[in-house]
Amino acid sequence: MTIAQRCYECYAEGMAWTAHDGSPLPRWDEVAEHVRLAWGAFAGAVLAGADLDAAYHRAYLGLLGGMAAGGGPAPTMAHLRAHSPQIAAAWEAAHRRVSTGMAG
Write the pLDDT tens digit of every residue in 58-73: 999 999 999 998 789 9
The answer to whether residue 104 scores a pLDDT higher than 60 is: no
For the chain, give percent helix, strand, coil, nearest 5.
Answer: 60, 5, 35
Which pLDDT does position 102 carry in this prediction?
66
Instruction: Write the single-letter amino acid at 37.
Output: L
The answer to whether residue 79 scores a pLDDT higher than 70 is: yes
- Count Cβ atoms below 10 Å from residue 34 Cβ, excluding itself: 12
**Which pTM value belongs to this model?**
0.93
CB 4 within 8 A of CB 35: no
Instruction: Output the CA angle 78-82-85, nearest 5 degrees.
Output: 100
pLDDT tens sequence across 15-28: 999 998 999 999 99
CB 55 within 8 A of CB 46: yes
Domain boundaries, the chain: 3-99
